Structure 1
Amino acid sequence: MTTTTQSKYQILPRGEATAILPTGSKHSPITVIGTEPIRSSFDELCLQQAINSRTAPGVTNLVLNPDAHGGYGAPVGCVLVSPTHVYPGPVGVDIKCSMSLLQTSLPADAVIDKQTRRALIDAICERTPTGAGKGQRNAPKSRHVEEALGKRVLTEGASPGVCRELGIPVEWASRCEDSFHVGHDDSTGALALRLEKLLPHIYQFDAKISQLGSYGGGNHFGECEAVEVGDDQRSRDIAKTFGLIDGGIAFLSHCGSRGIGHSLATGQFKSLQAKFEQWDIPLPGKDRELVYAPLGTPEANAYLDDMALGANFATVNHLLINALVLEAFQEVLPGTTGELVYFISHNIARKEIVDNRPAWVHRKGATRAYPAGHFALKGTPFAETGHPILLPGNPQAGSAVMVAEAGAEASCYSVNHGAGRQLGRKAAKRELDQRQVDQSFADADILSNCRQYPIDEAPAAYKDFDEVLRSVKSAGLASEVARLKARFVIKDGDKADD
């Protein structure tokens, strides 16, 4: 095996899809997951941010996943562990950006007809707006949320009462990685107090609450999927536990905490950056996005409370989107039923046990991966299989539902959150051809709500999904249970006039 070199950085292979990145200091090296082609895709910014993050105060572990690329402070596609500090950067500005999957009762041939798919796109867009700043007023059949209920969403998450008021099946909460989040002292009271303090400073709070049940822009999406479960008996057994139906239609969603999460996160960055300047504290790697707070300080408590508020919004946002999507399917194809397969985050810090002690595991563009028998899954539907892992690839290559293996311990029980970008947005717009992108979707018979598919979201802007999956499998982190093949896509863009 050859050493992968990116200028002054050397990634040292340890296996077909595992390696280490030395930090050049007394700190232990960074764990790298990826085959040689994937490791070669990591640029200098990504690797420098990884080293800055690993050598930051209180950090004990750092993992680079196959989808890693440069982000804010810490790379997107990394896992940062600290038993003593919290870091906003390795969570990001879209608090609890997540994936969810709804399995419907429909067979795949129910959406072969283009007219049917177009009707489904219209029905979904009438209920779930897309794009920055868009809220319920942009979708005539959305759920209207008053301020009082919005406050409950932020402080309670997917509580039975919140779910009932929004028309979300209460049982869906049991299919969430976390259906609610509490404050720094493990109470909802701390969140209520924090929210009241924040309210005068949150610009257009009502408008942000009105975004509940909506997709954002960028890489957020909704996709109608044909489910293809693996041929082996283990995949079929696990798919049954997950609630996946081979040859059925499912709906995959990617979004987060919208404007409210962005407001909370940027407020925290500004507040902590001001503290660092006031106290003249050196920044890790001289990077303003790598500010931090020691646990137990007022600054850490404030961050954990704000993160929980944003995370609760993101949770209910996903569940409401799924309820609205199911409603749209029922309007076009009466009699359709649906059940939530799973809801899982990839931009969150969670308190977990790492190396036999409590620590905050920050997953920035990374997904939790607990295998069968993990103590944290006791009492859940997935105790004997491991929980579903939802990995988006791109509409043409498909997405994957995976399950963790025991080897995931090596990556702090985490895997990548998707394919990861190989072209920045400006580079994609400069290098890719719009007509070719649109023609590729027509050739694949994948419809969209956009007149032109967003070129910076084209499949070619992302890494080779099969190579990314090969990295995860070869490293012994997870196995593929099913592949999801897109039939239509909802993205931020002008509504198509097909």
Structure 2
Amino acid sequence: MNGKHLTKLGFEKRAIALAQTAATARERAGLERDDILSELRGVQRNPHAYLGGGVYAELAEELTNQETAREALRGAELRATPLPYPVWGEDLIDQAARTQMDVAMRLPISRAGALMPDAHVGYGLPIGGVLATENAVIPYGVGVDIGCSMMLSVFPLPARDLPTEEARSLLMKHTRFGAGVAFDKRDRQDHDVLHERTWTDQALLRRLFDKAATQIGTSGSGNHFVEFGALSLPHADLGLDAGEYLAVLSHSGSRGFGAQVAGHYTQLAERHHPNLSPEAKKLAWLPLDHEDGQAYWQAMNLAGRYALANHDLIHARLARALNVKPLAQVSNSHNLAWKQQHEGQELIVHRKGATPAEPGRLGLIPGSMADPGYVVRGRGHAGALHSASHGAGRQLGRKAAERTLAKKDVQAYLRDHNITLIGGGIDEAPQAYKRIQDVIARQNDLVEIVASFQPRVVRMDTGHEDV
């Protein structure tokens, strides 16, 4: 009897090997195949009857464990009312984002949450939502672009020393944008993340390795960018004297690799919770004490490291082209889940478009393609689960921006702010975003401003319409 016979019976994972071992023992005892299959069906129907001992005891125990795990994964009904949660910048957040957060706070696994002032509607958890769960991770609570992150490099040059055309040329030569893009083979760089043994631990990761290796050091589409600009440091900090410096700021994630990890585990979570309320479907979760939850956790963290590796290579290319070494670098992820202590309990804190802001931790909060971004230092606000906004946040969805914004008005805004734009679409226009100064002002108790960054030459994907 082989594995195909057992798979047809409905045995899964470790139970297949255990059933095969038991079947072999019964064959040696002289039983025919049909009799063995009949016995195996009996074990499936009532595994508890076989737990007392005998050739099928170990299989029965595994089937019992699998059923217990399935019951746990099916979860419970949503709470009748959401757990209370604090909101920063309530006047900047529309009701649709609040409604999404309310659903998240009704999950039986939810323990705490917070909404940042850049919050707007996303898939499952709103962008700008922070959600703490017990022993469970939600793939869509992390997001499709796992590990989406920021990096800033500060160079020992005045910003005015890099002419606009040279900055433009450097970005065109040393960055790549868009779905599926990659550098030519001769221009690709290596990185330690590609040599991690983690890639061999799961069939999914093994399958996605070539895609990740091909696209490393590149940026995606949408709101991802690499830009030269001026960093203004009012007081000595970051190991630097006060003053203005040339800097590079980038926003990128885990590319197609991370997106496929997100899609795979979201579908798996949804299959584990077939009876979850439709309004919470995209918030299906995986328990961390289950093998599927552990597998996602491993893949998620690898995608987070891979995303930061993309930044490493982008900044290294530009530094070499400038023939300088960075004086300082700051980076942070804002689409990830972390294990974090909260009120004496270890919880899983999902930050979907939110910046970690533990006491003293540095982070980056960008504006738009034309508006300033900020280097910030966390104040460690417990009510915000040690978080802050991850940017300005959209006030117009992509389709609404394309439908309502005039190209001439966007171009005038860029001229007024002395911005040279490469690529970028109407859907990423500054007017599609909330005013970053308003967002920052609503979270003074979450972060302190260390420095500001004013973009000058910005490269993005072409989007739907160049501006």
TM-score tier by shorter-chain length is 0.7 to 0.9
The corresponding residue for 2:457 is: 488
Tell me whether 1:361 sits opposite 2:330 in the alignment. no
Confirm or deny: 8 A CA contact 1:351 1:360 kept in the other structure. Answer: yes
SS of equivalent residue, structure 1 residue 89: helix
- Counterparts of 2:371 and 2:207 in 1: how far apart (Å)? 43
Confirm or deny: 8 A CA contact 2:270 2:281 kept in the other structure. Answer: yes
The corresponding residue for 1:180 is: none
The corresponding residue for 1:295 is: 288
Tell me whether 1:198 sits opposite 2:204 in the alignment. yes
1:464 Cα deviation from its structure 2 partner: 1.3
Alignment RMSD = 2.3
Cα 1:28/1:289, change in 2 over 3 Å: closer
The corresponding residue for 2:375 is: 401
- Counterparts of 2:133 and 2:321 in 1: how far apart (Å)? 43
Q: Could you list the runs of 5+ residues in structure 2 that have no partner in the other structure?
A: 1-77
User: Residue 458 of structure 1: which of 419, 425, 429 is its match?
Assistant: 429
The corresponding residue for 1:142 is: 187
Cα 1:110/1:194, change in 2 over 3 Å: same
SS of equivalent residue, structure 2 residue 87: strand
The corresponding residue for 2:305 is: 312
Amino acid across the alignment from 1:282: L
User: Residue 103 of structure 2: which of 32, 39, 52 is its match?
Assistant: 52
The corresponding residue for 2:31 is: none
SS of equivalent residue, structure 2 residue 456: strand
The corresponding residue for 1:477 is: 446
Confirm or deny: 8 A CA contact 1:67 1:416 kept in the other structure. Answer: yes
CA deviation profile, 1:137-178 (whole Å, cap 9, x unmatched): 2xx873245xxx7xx62563xxxxxxxxxxxxxxxxxxxxxx
SS of equivalent residue, structure 1 residue 352: strand
SS of equivalent residue, structure 2 residue 174: coil
Alignment of 1:97-108 (within 5 A): 97-108=148-159
SS of equivalent residue, structure 2 residue 458: strand
CA deviation profile, 1:258-277 (whole Å, cap 9, x unmatched): 11111111111122222323
TM-score scaled by structure 2?
Answer: 0.78
The corresponding residue for 2:180 is: 133
1:208 Cα deviation from its structure 2 partner: 3.6
- Counterparts of 2:355 and 2:343 in 1: how far apart (Å)? 19
The corresponding residue for 1:210 is: 214
The corresponding residue for 2:15 is: none
1:57 Cα deviation from its structure 2 partner: 2.1
Give the structure, 1 or 2, with the largest relative contact order (CA under 8 Å, sep 6 or more): 1
Runs of 4 or more, structure 1, over 6 Å off, are none
Tell me whether 1:468 sits opposite 2:439 in the alignment. yes
- Counterparts of 1:47 and 1:27 in 2: how far apart (Å)? 11
Amino acid across the alignment from 1:63: A
SS of equivalent residue, structure 1 residue 219: coil
Amino acid across the alignment from 1:85: A
Tell me whether 1:282 sits opposite 2:276 in the alignment. yes
Larger Rg: 1 or 2? 2
Cα 1:227/1:244, change in 2 over 3 Å: farther
1:294 Cα deviation from its structure 2 partner: 1.6
1:71 Cα deviation from its structure 2 partner: 0.7
Cα 1:343/1:109, change in 2 over 3 Å: same
SS of equivalent residue, structure 2 residue 350: strand
Confirm or deny: 8 A CA contact 1:60 1:82 kept in the other structure. Answer: yes
Amino acid across the alignment from 2:418: D
Cα 1:99/1:245, change in 2 over 3 Å: farther
Cα 1:404/1:208, change in 2 over 3 Å: closer
Cα 1:26/1:120, change in 2 over 3 Å: closer
The corresponding residue for 2:314 is: 321
The corresponding residue for 1:258 is: 255
User: Residue 427 of structure 1: which of 387, 397, 400 is its match?
Assistant: 400
TM-score scaled by structure 1?
Answer: 0.73
1:329 Cα deviation from its structure 2 partner: 2.4
- Counterparts of 1:136 and 1:322 in 2: how far apart (Å)? 15
Confirm or deny: 8 A CA contact 1:346 1:365 kept in the other structure. Answer: yes
User: Residue 224 of structure 1: which of 222, 228, 232 is its match?
Assistant: 228
- Counterparts of 2:276 and 2:460 in 1: how far apart (Å)? 41
The corresponding residue for 1:387 is: 361
- Counterparts of 1:207 and 1:294 in 2: how far apart (Å)? 28
Amino acid across the alignment from 1:324: R
Amino acid across the alignment from 2:291: P
Tell me whether 1:271 sits opposite 2:244 in the alignment. no
Confirm or deny: 8 A CA contact 2:114 2:383 kept in the other structure. Answer: no
1:402 Cα deviation from its structure 2 partner: 1.2
- Counterparts of 1:487 and 1:153 in 2: how far apart (Å)? 31
SS of equivalent residue, structure 1 residue 360: strand
Q: Percent identity?
A: 34
